[in-house]
A and B are shown apart, each in its own frame.
Chain A
């Protein structure tokens, strides 16, 4: 006999297969008759997302529609997944802006460091998860697309309780 095998003594009286089956069928029928309460009809009903949920990115814009990004280069530096591509440029007024700003959402691990490190609160994670696309290329979001997103910004902390106490 194999080591440590425990033999369970089953009570003789309680082992009628037919009656047990009938009992089980009663149970399943009760489930059949109970209305379904927990299923969520997804495309029609959606989750209420937490304000701190970290989803796909969104770039904050000035009132005239320009991205707030000043191309300081902190976010590609801090990004642990190395998913931000930034090429800085300078306009005629001597202000820096991002000539190329791309985020590869496939590489992104949604840690939120870019949002945390941004000195001008330009790049944000968003409260958003429905990111399906028809091609892999479409998952590299460029600056234009990041500015177009309109889902709410992720809150990295609760403003009333900044230290999470």
Chain B
């Protein structure tokens, strides 16, 4: 067993791309159904239940409908950008998963196969870079429609994305500090060896989740869409398959957000309390850490799907719980709360890590437990001190009200 030959590598890569893409499309379709079902259940309705058993084939019906609907081009719209925008927003949403490891590496007679489509050494940067490309689709779609509300949606999208891009980037820094690694399989491996990073980086998880809610335009932050304010935001003028592409991008981003949370904080494809899956793919094609088997790969893949599914559910759940923020609250939360807090968090975390290393505790379970204690304290602080009308209620505006409310002379 060794490295794959070039032909075997190409074939295995093609198979992985094909398999992942197929599952991905099915998952996106499934999430659209899950969204409608969970929304319905939360609102004490039954949801779509006409197409197939319990409405299982509803996404197929939706797809068919979108294919036969009329393609709409608004008068005065910029034709090329109008057609290009859904593609631009869909492309990054489908490509990012290429760097995320989804199962334990598998030893085959032709050599070890790493269960990630592209094991980029800079997987981290790839995600951040492509993630921020998605906003172009929204902005261009809003602008090219030559219509007022889509334009406002596009403007909001760009403002919000730029604000939360910073917070997102900053909330990734603690992971980098802890793992000292930008390769996603490497990060997963470190979590397998010690603790899942959800414990030592609890506060980071909170901020990461919030920023990704904003990045994916999910409900508490769905400023670019804002049905009740902007009709349907940037894709008001879109119909048929172009509209469906925007929706697919949105749900694809939702899965990516969940996949990233799982990879960074919940051990990726790791099955907890079991060391049999602590396999690691090395560059020379060998697999270290244990005996590889097809059922281990399958089990870890299923564990990964389960974890991602839970976070997809969490996103949907939050969407149907929390009402939309006001626009100024979104901006204030991003710039005035998240970014300063993250900077403080990074400094505190760094200081504690330095202290620990100075005290001779090296990276390992004990080191991470110390960080866990720190994070629990910070989390309690956030929940019981900082969050009392200081974060969202008026987001700092409340203190300014009395001056604004002076009677006009």
Residues of B within 8 A of A (CB): 38, 41-46, 49, 317-318, 320-322, 382-384, 387-389, 391-393, 401, 405-408
Contact = CB atoms under 8 A, between A and B. Distances in A.
B45 A39 contact: yes
Contacts of A32: 38, 41-42, 317
A13 interface: yes
Interface in A1-52: 1, 7, 10, 12-13, 15-19, 21, 24-25, 27-29, 31-32, 34, 36, 38-39, 41
Contacts of B43: 31
A36 B320 contact: no
A13 B401 CA distance: 19
Nearest to A29: B317
B321 A19 contact: no
A11 to B, nearest CB: 9
A12 B388 contact: yes
B318 A25 contact: yes
Contacts of B49: 41
Given A10-B393, A12-B389, A21-B322, A28 B382 contact: no
Interface residues of A, number: 23
Contacts of B384: 16
Nearest to A11: B389
Given A25-B321, A28-B321, A17 B393 contact: yes
Contacts of A31: 41-44
A55 B144 CA distance: 50
Contacts of A10: 389, 393
B392 A17 contact: yes
Nearest to A43: B50
A36 B388 CA distance: 36
Given A25-B321, A28-B321, A31-B42, A1 B407 contact: yes
Nearest to B41: A32
Contacts of A18: 382-383, 387, 391
Given A25-B317, A28-B320, A17 B44 contact: no
B239 to A, nearest CB: 25
A36 B42 contact: no
Given A15-B389, A24-B322, A41-B49, 7 more contacts: A1-B408, A12-B389, A16-B384, A17-B387, A18-B383, A32-B38, A36-B41
